[in-house]
């Protein structure tokens, strides 16, 4: 180790013990100098020697994190030139000065654009008439100047298009300050509201705004009403969600008729509605919550349409007249199907649009309200993803969607539901030598431990795919019913063009194969998520796609929990692991309901106050199951201001690994001291983070340049 680095670590660590023998010696966790935290529960004793790392106010903790960062920097110093090369390579494929497809809202076309050298978007609009001049309504670069982190929570224009409500976060903690700009005069209003969440909606009067606040745990729980120009202290409470397992937010129907307050847990929901023209009125409950029943509303004609899982595990669509909302009056509009999950429902003046999943693939089905016919938008590729755009216009037959695949860059289409024709509005341009036909995507299946067939999506470069096993990058998520759909990435080409295969394991805990796929990967079936992933990795090895020594795996957040679990279970199966902001200290987090999201998570992981759930979580919690064995090369990241996975989770996990594991393989912790869960906010800084991770992979695999 270079002398200056050792001195820096010694200085930074202060009371933290540092071992200096050898050139590759990391800062040693100070377990001998700290009293462990001991928790006794259900006859078990949890010993946590690194609990002291939870105190972010402690100078010692900050010095420790900085020391780990210094060590990571030193160990990756031989890749600095490679990191710069990768960054420039990735950036060179991006059209730095670019324009989004304009979206019509009433008499304006709204869009965003980027400029070369600038980290953030510029939001603009112009009139719909030909030759109308551009008007910049919000330049993120202006607000982000001199700030290490910047993110926009909401940009929402009033119904008359005269006032912009905007919210910004400069720490990564996802606490946004809400402000207002007069778009006619450029005036910034004095009204400033701190610590709001993402939910903001205008009433029809162009002066009343509803916004959402959070409690001490970060749960969105309180909706308030603000009248522009009045003191913030006079804002009225509209709705407070008091159940700690529920969060709340406010939306608006696409026809702008109703304001909608939704309260949801992982398994139950409840909706309140109010005429947007009477913002001081009282919201009315559509259907009182009932445990296990989820539903959402859209408004069309004289009907509420209800997407619900009542008596339908994969959801169905009901409808009822506005003046008769009692559940006994609902009639079925789309029946449930065992093999088709209904993801979403959207309304247009003459059509309803249904987003579905069948056999793991997404579909868009639309209904013509005049003819009563259902039709599908056709897609041709074997492996693809499609998602509806915002579609803010109600009175139109055009539905905009985004289409992409592992080989097709994101493409924006307008589909005319009356004519049955799609128009390509834009395909994201990939600069350089990229040619779609040079790459091949496919879908294969691995047999899980219980016999279930798990899909795997793969992409590789045709001329680099032969009979020899390749370096392979395998990723997955597998929680919250969040589907990991295949998508295109120009950044990923830096792997594919060097002979890597890229693979996504569509494991249980997601919702790719329907709601039962999610139910079989949560609570007391959570281990299916981990064994599914291991089965996918083994299948890729056994079928010759790769070898154990050529396999790197990656996951973030709950996907980081996956990384921690599988590396404890099968450390021999992987050459390298990248765990981004990983949820790895499951027990200590879930036993502390004062922490963000914990009570809301009981329906995902279980309540550890109940012995059955406690013991099951303890059996897979990555931090609690670190053992004296050999581990792969590992890179673990964290964010100091992360409100979702506290920074100390990856820090404690790495500390315990350092003190416990038997090998001398590379183990790095990199904590972003200026960001939160999503990492760096600027588009160039984000690319630098990916370049760093790729450089770690190439270093470990010995990829030559």
* Phi-psi domain of 352 (left: phi exceeds 0; alpha: psi -120 through 50; beta: other): beta
466 catalytically annotated? no
Cα torsion at 150, 59, 677, 688 (round to 10°)? Answer: 70
- Catalytic residue of the set 346, 642, 646, 681: 642
557 catalytically annotated? yes
How far is residue 696's CA from residue 83's CA, in Å, rounded to a whole number?
9
Instruction: Report the length, in residues, of the chain.
Output: 705
How far is residue 133's CA from residue 131's CA, in Å, rounded to a whole number?
6
- 70's enclosing H/E stretch is helix 59-75
Rg (Cα) of the chain, in Å, rounded? 26
The residue among 360, 399, 368, 366 whose CA lies nearest residue 513 is 360
221 in Cβ contact with 213 (< 8 Å): yes
How far is residue 656's CA from residue 284's CA, in Å, rounded to a whole number?
52
- Catalytic residue of the set 557, 621, 646, 681: 557
CA 699 to chain centre: 28
Instruction: Catalogue the long-range contacts made by 415-418 (C-beta closer than 8 Å, 24 or more residues apart).
Output: 415/364, 415/377, 417/348, 417/350, 417/351, 417/353, 417/366, 417/368, 417/375, 418/350, 418/368
410 in Cβ contact with 403 (< 8 Å): yes
677 catalytically annotated? yes
**Crossing angle of helices 648-660/59-75, nearest 10°?**
60
| Strand, coil or helix: 675 | coil
How far is residue 561's CA from residue 51's CA, in Å, rounded to a whole number?
19
16 in Cβ contact with 618 (< 8 Å): no
- Catalytic residue of the set 411, 621, 677, 681: 677
How far is residue 336's CA from residue 399's CA, in Å, rounded to a whole number?
24
DSSP string, 535-595: HHHHHHHHTTS--GGGEEEEEETHHHHHHHHHHHH-GGG-SEEEEES----HHHHHT-TTS
DSSP string, 265-295: -SS-EEEEEEETT-TTS--EESS---TT--E
First to last CA, the chain: 25
Residues 6+ apart with CB under 8 A from 230: none
Catalytically active residues, by annotation? 557, 642, 677
């Amino acid at each position: 180790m270079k002398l200056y680095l050792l001195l820096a670590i010694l200085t930074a660590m202060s009371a933290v013990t540092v071992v200096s023998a050898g050139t590759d010696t990391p800062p040693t966790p100070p377990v001998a100098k700290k009293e462990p935290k001991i928790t006794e529960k259900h006859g078990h004793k949890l010993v946590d020697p690194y609990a002291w790392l939870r105190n972010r106010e402690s100078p010692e903790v900050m010095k420790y994190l900085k020391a780990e960062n210094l060590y990571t920097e030193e160990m990756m110093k031989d890749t600095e030139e490679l990191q710069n090369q990768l960054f420039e390579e990735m950036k060179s494929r991006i059209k730095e000065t670019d324009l989004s497809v304009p979206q019509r809202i009433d008499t304006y076309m709204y869009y965003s654009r980027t400029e070369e050298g600038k980290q953030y978007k510029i939001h603009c609009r112009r009139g719909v008439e030909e030759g109308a001049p551009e008007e910049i309504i919000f330049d993120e670069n202006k607000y982000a100047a001199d700030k290490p982190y910047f993110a926009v929570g909401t940009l929402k224009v009033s119904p008359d298009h005269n006032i912009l409500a905007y919210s910004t976060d400069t720490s990564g903690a996802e606490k946004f300050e809400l402000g207002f700009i007069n778009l006619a005069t450029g005036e910034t209003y004095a009204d400033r509201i701190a610590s709001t969440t993402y939910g903001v909606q205008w009433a029809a009067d162009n002066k009343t705004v509803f916004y959402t606040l959070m409690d001490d745990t970060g749960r969105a729980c309180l909706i308030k009403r603000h009248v522009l120009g009045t003191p913030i202290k006079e804002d009225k409470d509209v709705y407070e969600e008091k159940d700690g397992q529920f969060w709340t937010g406010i939306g608006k129907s696409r026809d702008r008729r109703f304001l909608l307050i939704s309260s949801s847990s992982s398994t139950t929901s409840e909706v309140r509605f109010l005429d947007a023209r009477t913002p001081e009125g009282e919201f009315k409950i559509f259907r009182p919550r009932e445990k296990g029943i989820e539903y959402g509303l859209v408004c069309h004609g004289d009907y509420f349409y209800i997407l619900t899982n009542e008596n339908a595990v994969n959801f169905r669509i009901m409808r009822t007249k506005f003046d008769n909302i009692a559940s006994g009056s609902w009639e079925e509009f789309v029946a449930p199907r065992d093999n088709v999950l209904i993801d979403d429902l959207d309304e247009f003046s003459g059509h309803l649009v249904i987003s579905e999943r069948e056999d793991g693939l997404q579909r868009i089905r639309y209904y013509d309200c005049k003819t009563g016919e259902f039709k599908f938008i056709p897609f041709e590729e074997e492996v693809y993803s499609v998602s509806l755009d915002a579609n803010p216009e109600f009175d139109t037959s055009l539905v905009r969607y985004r289409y992409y695949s592992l080989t097709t860059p994101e493409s924006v289409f307008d589909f005319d539901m009356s004519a049955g024709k799609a128009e390509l509005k834009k395909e994201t341009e990939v600069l350089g030598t990229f040619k779609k036909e040079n790459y091949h995507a496919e879908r294969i299946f691995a047999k899980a431990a219980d016999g279930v067939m798990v899909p795997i999506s793969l992409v590789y470069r045709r001329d680099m795919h032969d009979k020899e096993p390749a370096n392979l990058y395998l990723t997955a998520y597998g929680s919250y019913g969040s589907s990991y759909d295949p998508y295109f990435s120009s950044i990923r080409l830096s792997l594919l063009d060097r002979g890597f295969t890229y693979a996504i394991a569509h494991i249980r805990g997601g919702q790719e194969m329907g709601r039962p796929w999610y139910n079989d990967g949560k609570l007391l079936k959570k281990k299916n998520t981990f064994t599914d992933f291991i089965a996918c990795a083994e299948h890729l090895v056994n079928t010759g796609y790769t070898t154990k020594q050529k396999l790197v795996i990656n996951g973030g957040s709950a996907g980081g929990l996956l990384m921690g679990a599988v590396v404890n279970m099968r450390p021999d199966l992987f050459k390298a692991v990248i765990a981004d902001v990983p949820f790895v200290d499951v027990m200590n987090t879930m036993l502390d309901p004062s922490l963000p999201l914990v009570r809301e998570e009981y329906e995902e992981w279980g309540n550890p106050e109940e012995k059955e759930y406690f013991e099951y979580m303890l059996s897979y919690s990555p931090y609690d199951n670190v053992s004296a064995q050999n581990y792969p090369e590992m890179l673990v990241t964290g964010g100091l201001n992360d409100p979702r996975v506290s920074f100390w989770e990856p820090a404690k996990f790495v500390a315990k690994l350092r003190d416990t594991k038997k090998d001398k393989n590379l183990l790095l912790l990199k904590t972003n001291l200026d960001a939160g869960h999503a990492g760096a906010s600027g588009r160039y800084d984000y690319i630098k983070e990916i370049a760093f991770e790729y450089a770690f992979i190439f270093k470990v695999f010995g990829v030559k340049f």
